[in-house]
Amino acid sequence: MPIIYAGVETGGTTWVTSIAVGSPSNITERGEFETTSPEEVIPRVVEWLKQHKFDALGICSFGPIDVHEDSDTYGFITTVPDTKKAWRNADVLNKIKSLLELPDSFPIGWDTDVNAPALAEYDSDDTISSCAYVTVGTGVGVGLVIGGHPVHGLLHGEGGHISVPRYPGDEYPGAKNLNCENFDELESMCCSSALAARANCTVSQLKDLPDDHKVWDIAAHYLACMCVNFILAASPEKIVLSGGVMLRKCLFPMIRAKTQLYLNTYINVPTITTDAIDKVIVPSEHGNKAGIVGALFLGKIALDEKNKGSLARAAAPQIMSHALVALAAVALYSVITRKK
C-alpha cells in the first residue's frame, strides 16, 4: 500500500490542507480555510483531517515560530507583528495533535512555511548541497537548507527583514517591522503592497501592469540585492523564487542580470558569471503549490526518521549479540594463551 501524507500550511490569509499519496508532490485532495483566529481555524482544519487516513503529518507555518523541540513553546507561533496579533503565542502543533488524538509516536513534522518548501526543492535536485527558497507576496520569507538540513540556529531565518540598499531615487518609506531608522527592510521595499503603492494601484491590479513598468525594475533591484547578500553570506547553489510577485516572469532575467552586476565578478564562478546563473536563480519546481508540498515533505521526513529509528532499534540486539560473541572469543583466547 502506498504511504499517505497529510499536510497543513498556515497562511496569513488562508490555511491549506492536503492529502498526498505515495509522494508529497502527488496531491489528491485539498482544502482551504480563511485565516481568522486560532479558536476558529484550528478546529476546522482538524475536522477536515479527521475525514482522512494518513501515515504522517507535516505542518508548516508563517512565523516567527518555535522550532526547537526542547523548548516549552515548541510548536507555537510566537512574536508575530500586530497585523497577526491574534496568532501571537498560539500553540498550533500541540493543539492539532491533541484534537486529532495522535500518540506521541506519530510522525509529525513542523517548520516554517519557507524552510519546508526549501527542503522539498532541495530534495528535487540531487546535484546540490544547499538551497535557499524565497517567497515574495504579501510579505517576504526566506528558507535555507544546507546539507539536507534546514537552518534553525538561534530561532530560524528571517531573511525578509535584511537591510537592502535603496533603488536610486526611491523615496517610498516602507512599512518596517523592525522600525529601525536607516534600516530599509527587504520586505517593506518589495512586498506586493509596496509595489502597488509605488504604481498607485491595488495589489490585485499589479497583474495588469506592463512588463516595462518601472515598478518591476524596482522589485528586481531589491530582490537582486537579496540574492547577492545570500550568495555572499551562505553561498547557496540554488535560489528558488516563488510567491505571487514572482508570477511576473520578466523578473527572473532582470534579477539574474542585476545580481551579476552587483557582484561584479567578485564571486568568480561560472555558475554566477555566465548564463549558467539561469539554473541558480530559478522558479519553484512546484509552482504555487510549493508551500503545501513543503508541508507534506515535512511529514515524509518525520516518517523516514521514525522508520530509521525503528530499524536501528531492531538491529541493536543483533549487534549486541555479535559483540558478546566477540568478547567471549577474546576471553577464551586469553585463557588459552595464559595456560600455555
Per-residue model confidence (pLDDT) at position 339? 52
Where would I find the beta strands (DSSP E) of 137-260?
140-146, 149-150, 239-242
Q: What angle do CA 210, 137, 81 make, to 5 degrees?
A: 145
Residue 187's Cβ-count burial label (10 Å; 0-12, 13-18, 19+) is buried
Question: Nearest Cα to 114, choosing from 240, 277, 249, 232?
Answer: 240
User: Cα–Cα distance between 223 and 227 in angstroms, integer?
Assistant: 6
- Strand 108-112 versus strand 56-61 pairing type: parallel
Question: Nearest Cα to 184, choosing from 163, 168, 158?
Answer: 163
309 or 74: which leads in pLDDT: 74
User: What percentage of residues in the chain have a pLDDT greater than 90?
Assistant: 81
- Span 300-328, average pLDDT: 61
Average pLDDT for the chain: 91
pLDDT reading at 318 higher than 60 = no
Question: Per residue in 157-209, pLDDT tens?
Answer: 899 999 999 999 999 998 778 888 889 999 999 999 999 999 999 999 999 99
Phi, psi (rounded to 5 degrees) for 331: -65, -45
Per-residue model confidence (pLDDT) at position 333? 44
User: What percentage of residues in the chain have a pLDDT greater than 70?
Assistant: 91
Per-residue model confidence (pLDDT) at position 175? 79
Q: How confident is the model at residue 338 (pLDDT cuts 50, 70, 90)?
A: low
User: Cα–Cα distance between 191 and 153 in angstroms, integer?
Assistant: 26
User: Cα–Cα distance between 117 and 133 in angstroms, integer?
Assistant: 7
**Which grid coordinates are listed for 43?**
478546529
Least confident stretch, 160-169, 192-201, 306-315, 325-334:
325-334
Per-residue model confidence (pLDDT) at position 328? 44
Per-residue model confidence (pLDDT) at position 176? 79
Per-residue model confidence (pLDDT) at position 177? 80
Q: Give the contacts of 29 (CB within 8 A, at least 6 positions apart).
A: 18, 19, 52
Question: Nearest Cα to 194, choosing from 218, 158, 178, 213?
Answer: 218
Where would I find the beta strands (DSSP E) of 116-268?
130-136, 140-146, 149-150, 239-242
**Which grid coordinates are listed for 260?**
551579476
- Span 239-260, average pLDDT: 97
- Span 252-274, average pLDDT: 97
Question: Per residue in 77-119, pLDDT tens?
Answer: 998 888 788 999 999 999 999 999 999 999 999 999 999 999 9
- Strand 4-9 versus strand 140-146 pairing type: unpaired
pLDDT reading at 18 higher than 60 = yes
Least confident stretch, 74-83, 100-109, 255-264, 267-276:
74-83
Question: Per residue in 286-302, pLDDT tens?
Answer: 988 999 999 999 999 99
